[in-house]
Structure 1
Amino acid sequence: MWTPKYRYKVLFGEVRIRVRDIIRQVCSEMGVNIVSGALSRDHVHLFVEIPPHISVSKFMQNAKGRSSRRIQQEFEHIRKRYWGQRFWARGYFSTTSGNITDDVITAYLERHTAPHGQASASRPDPTGIRR
């Protein structure tokens, strides 16, 4: 889980779609499997399977770095808002699914994006991050 700097609610519309596509591309290039994911207006949740030869920090460096650079290049209003060339806030939250099951994490992500905390009736996008 990670957030845009100052937790501004900028992940909507074309920016949201582009962030999703960039993250999918980074995952594909690194051999990371997206199990599930959710984009809120002010943060990103990903449930991924990272190969053992790639560290979590390396994956996050690539995902956040590449998406930050491309988003600022492609969207002038983002470049003006984040004038310090940093789109994402420092840090991220990461944990393993060892103590809880994958189903619990997936259910959390589905509830997280559903309105008013209701479980989503639709199935997640099999390619990963939902709109």
Structure 2
Amino acid sequence: MKTTRHATYNLNYHIVWLPKYRRSVLTGTVARHVEDIIHEIADDKGLEIIDLTVQPDHIHLFVSSPPKHAPSLLANWFKGISSRKYNHRYASSDDQKIKWTRGYYAGTAGEVSSETVQDYIQRQEAKP
């Protein structure tokens, strides 16, 4: 359990999003840069990343957040800020820019243990 000044909570979200056109651009140094940026965002926003998997054509993020943040806000933060930071720091041309699809998946981990969700995310790594 985590606490804020006015709440005790255990809210864990599984958020998945994809690069535009599901292109396999998240490999090598691009994947490492995106992963670092996602960790920066979490630190800046006071969120805890429980697990993060950057696959060539999508990202799985398992994150814990206080109740004041809606899952849609979390998805928008991670997608929007990561794209802007990556493109500003590393993209020297439009072809190198990271662009995300408009949609995303968000699920909660409710009473399911974090180990179960982490196991699911890690099993997804083995799939093509």
**Structure 2 length normalisation: TM-score?**
0.78
CA distance 1:66–1:12, change in 2 (3 Å): same
Match of 2:92 among 76, 89, 93: 76
In structure 2, the residue matched to 1:124 is none
In structure 2, the residue matched to 1:31 is 46
Q: How many residues align?
A: 112
- Letter of the 2:104 partner, please give it: Y
CA distance in 2, matches of 1:5, 1:55: 23
1:94 and 2:106 equivalent? yes
- What pairs with 1:12-27 in structure 2 (closer than 5 Å)? 12-27=27-42
Deviates more, 1:35-44 or 1:62-71: 62-71
Query: % of aligned pairs identical?
Result: 34
- Letter of the 2:24 partner, please give it: K
In structure 1, the residue matched to 2:119 is 107
Match of 1:65 among 59, 80, 86: 80
SS in 2 for 1:19: helix
CA distance in 1, matches of 2:32, 2:26: 8
CA distance in 2, matches of 1:28, 1:100: 25
Deviation at 1:99, TM superposition (A): 5.3
Deviation at 1:58, TM superposition (A): 1.6
Deviation at 1:70, TM superposition (A): 2.2
Give the aligned CA root-mean-square deviation in angstroms.
2.0
Structure 1: where are the runs of 5+ without partners? 118-131
Q: Contact (CA 8 Å) 2:37, 2:86: kept in 1 or not?
A: no
Structure number with the higher strand fraction is: 2
CA distance in 1, matches of 2:91, 2:66: 32
4+ runs deviating over 4 angstroms: none
Structure 2: where are the runs of 5+ without partners? 1-15
